[in-house]
Amino acid sequence: MDPAVRFRDPASALDLAELESEATYLRSYESLFLPGLFQVEGYTRAIFEASDAVSTGDEIDAAVRFRGRRQHVLFADRPPRVHAVIHEAALHMLFGGTDVMREQLQRLVELAELPHVTIQVMPFTAVAVSALTTPFCHITSHGDGLATVLVEHPARSAYLHSDGDVAKYRTQFVRLGEAALPAIDTTAVAVKHATRDSLGLVQHLLYTLQGVSK
């Protein structure tokens, strides 16, 4: 899901921000980009600079600020529960260069320490279930009484509300979570180095980036 696509339609971007502010649970699957709520400023800026969603420097600055304001929901008095499944491919995309990606990967680990945030990585070696799935965000609010699914397409975002669509994507997210590595957990003691989990993969990529030039 190209997070810059949403900004082509200001109304859509505002709709998303409103849904996030009222949400009780956000379930997000991303394949090539990290979720907007998790992005550091340099990563967000690099995405907008590389896209055609905005063109001028002022528009890029405004888009970056808007995304930063959206992230405040993670630190609200009553934040939503956030569960993200991120394909490993997104962790290899060098938006902003190696320094920015190191900062971005470290941010993932820091956010995973929040009690209401769960982050899993879908490895390249996982079953092909993720290859059949378009990036999406399943948003529930009002005590899970209301639900919306945002599906991103190159031309336009689609908001799905029917019971059938919502149920389909909820089931798909469960399947993605089952296929992904165990969630990032900074409190776990790594006694079995052969055990693969999301934190181990992120740490490996951070170590790899130490030896990569800018």
Tens of pLDDT, residues 1-15: 444 444 445 557 788
Checking if the pLDDT of 34 tops 70, the result is yes
pLDDT at 45: 95
Checking if the pLDDT of 37 tops 70, the result is yes
Q: What residue ranges do the domains of the chain occupy?
A: 5-210
Checking if the pLDDT of 191 tops 70, the result is no
pLDDT at 189: 61
Q: What is the Cα–Cα distance from 86 to 117, expressed in whole angstroms?
A: 13
Q: Mean pLDDT lowest for which of 21-30, 79-88, 120-129?
A: 120-129
Checking if the pLDDT of 54 tops 90, the result is no
Between 156 and 190, whose confidence is greater? Answer: 156
Find the mean pLDDT for residues 96-114.
96
pLDDT at 123: 93
pLDDT at 2: 46
Of the pLDDT bands very low, low, confident and very high (cuts 50, 70, 90), residue 83 is very high
Longest dimension (CA), the chain: 50
Q: What is the Cα–Cα distance from 57 to 53, expressed in whole angstroms?
A: 12
pLDDT at 134: 87
Of the pLDDT bands very low, low, confident and very high (cuts 50, 70, 90), residue 130 is low
Cα torsion 45, 49, 52, 54: sign: positive
Of the pLDDT bands very low, low, confident and very high (cuts 50, 70, 90), residue 155 is low
pLDDT at 46: 95
Query: How many other C-beta atoms lie within 10 A of the C-beta of residue 190?
Result: 11
What's the topology of domain 5-210? Endonuclease; Chain A (3.30.870)
Q: What is the Cα–Cα distance from 71 to 36, expressed in whole angstroms?
A: 8
Which is nearest to 82 in space by CA: 36, 35, 42, 25?
25
Find the mean pLDDT for residues 45-66.
88
Which is nearest to 37 in space by CA: 121, 107, 103, 134?
107
pLDDT at 127: 78
How far CA 77 is from CA of 25, 80, 86, 92, in Å, comes to: 15, 10, 26, 33
Regarding beta strands 23-30 and 136-141, do their DSSP bridges make them parallel or antiparallel, or are they unpaired? Answer: antiparallel
pTM above threshold 0.85: yes
Strands in 158-160's sheet, in edge-to-edge order, are 117-122, 81-87, 23-30, 136-141, 146-151, 158-160
Enumerate residues 6+ apart whose C-beta is below 8 A from 10: none
Q: Mean pLDDT lowest for which of 56-65, 79-88, 113-122, 152-161?
A: 152-161
Q: What is the Cα–Cα distance from 123 to 198, expressed in whole angstroms?
A: 9
